[in-house]
Structure 1
């Protein structure tokens, strides 16, 4: 059965010298190869961890231009005074569709004035932000919707791996706030994805891999074997992302 598949979670870039193996030397050719093998139509891509995120976003733009129609650019920022300007630059000059924020790797204070300015831009311009919500990082992300922001908030990993406590908290958070979406990468307890569909509906569950190091084929299969309607699988694997990205 042929499905429209969009992968909402991929890191690309050279990375900073001395960065860890999952934060450097991730190039678009690697991603396109596994996309083709997994029959992924399009992938959202954003920078690995960098000291200079403006340069990193320029690098992502080059990759998007190299593979038009396959890669969808997102920016990424840290807790720096220039973060709001970088966000506006990504939207207006680079044509990006959204933003990635990682409180943990960037050591972002959830009360940071820099972060608030970024969130205010997202609220005004209505683009999605995908936040790392792995384990304790989720606690910091919860504060965004709790502060009253209504732009699309995507919780990457929805708690992560087999961590039932944090998965439950992510699902409960999405029940409470209708602008919160749950993304499926690194979720090993498949029943929790089924539970999320039951509790918040399939319209707010989004497929992602955390690629390109993680091959999309088993991640796609993870969704295909869920005990949910086929129409819900179509939504999770691509239609929800298509709607959210406006493509």
Structure 2
């Protein structure tokens, strides 16, 4: 099964751009089905209260649980003091399987990482090019898995993307996704140097076409086993870690 690990959904409450207004899934779902994408991880649009936004995503996931997974969006600064509660609600009531946050909101915090550790969840953190944070995350939270999407920075930020590849190679708990990366040679390099087990397929839907983003994975011409990792197995391994980890703690970096 092909799984898209990165798609936004629901309504934001700002109007600075599509990312904080309305992430309607109608076109996305039609396009994803046509492309053969069987499941999708949903993340809220940008919002002033992610507890509200996560509840909206939860309703979408509950409406088609065989197709959608949910990640809990948090704001590291604004949600300070309640991150564990927000994530706990998302996990225990909504069945969410990961955490999402964005550098545009605030830098990732120890409180977020502690919540991820407590609930054994992967963290999808967009550093917006500040990929050096991977070094701190990997060293201080080796039992938490972190996905830094867009190869570390959206579109053409090649220097940040190149730098992230070094972190992917060196740190077993640092991963990336392919959404919005325009320099195809860097995707090739990421897989060649870090391994297919460190790269996840993502589209950044509904604003980017999932079929177009998926075509990049096929263009990599990976061996069947490696392509299967990128297209879904890696994501399943990361979200299932919370169920398979023993009482001593996380399972970051296992199964490689």
Q: TM-score, normalised by structure 2?
A: 0.86
Q: Which residue of 1 aligns with 2:67?
A: 70
Q: Is the 8 A contact 2:2 2:37 kept in 1?
A: yes
Greater mean alpha carbon deviation, residues 203-212 or residues 26-35: 26-35
Q: What's the CA shift for 1:158? A: 0.9
For the residues of structure 2 that align with 1:37 and 1:228, how far apart are their CA atoms?
22
Q: Which runs of 5+ in 2 are unaligned?
A: 244-256
Q: In structure 2, what is the Cα distance between the partners aligned to 1:213 and 1:147?
A: 34
- Cα deviation 1:108-130 (Å, max 9, x = unaligned): 3x5xxxx3122112123321111
| Aligned residue number for residue 161 of structure 2 | 167
Aligned partners of 1:14 and 1:162: how far apart in 2? 28
Match of 2:214 among 212, 215, 220: 220
Hey, what's the Cα distance between the residues in 1 that align with 2:139 and 2:128? 18
| Residue pair 2:28, 2:210 contacting (<8 A) in 1 also | no
Q: Which of 36, 39, 44 is residue 42 of structure 1 equivalent to?
A: 39
1:203 aligns with 2:200: no
Question: Per-residue CA shift, 1:146-179, capped at 9, x if unaligned?
Answer: 3234211101001332322111211111112101
Root-mean-square deviation (CA, aligned residues, Å) is 1.8
**Residues 103 and 128 of structure 2 are in contact (CA less than 8 Å); yes or no, is this contact kept in structure 1?**
no
What is aligned with 2:170? 176
- Cα distance, 1:222 vs. partner? 0.6
The 8 Å contact of residues 11 and 47 in structure 1, kept in 2 or not, is answered as yes
Per-residue Cα deviation, 1:58-91 (whole angstroms, up to 9, x for no partner): 1010000112211101111112232221011111
Unaligned runs of 5+ in 1: none
**Helix, strand or coil at the partner of 1:131:** strand
SS of 1:16 mapped into structure 2: coil
Out of 145, 148, 151, the residue aligned to residue 141 of structure 2 is: 148
Structure 1 match to 2:2: 5
State whether residues 134 and 158 of structure 1, in contact with CA within 8 Å, keep that contact through their aligned partners in structure 2: no
* Candidates 226, 231, 246, aligned match of 1:237: 231
Check conservation: 1:131, 1:141, Cα contact below 8 A: no
SS of the residue 1:8 aligns to: strand
Q: Could you tell me how far apart the structure 1 residues matched to 2:210 and 2:40 are?
A: 11
State the Cα distance separating 1:234 from its structure 2 match.
1.8
**Larger mean Cα displacement after TM superposition, 188-197 or 39-48:** 188-197
CA shift digits 1:88-107 (9 cap, x unpaired): 11111111000101022x13
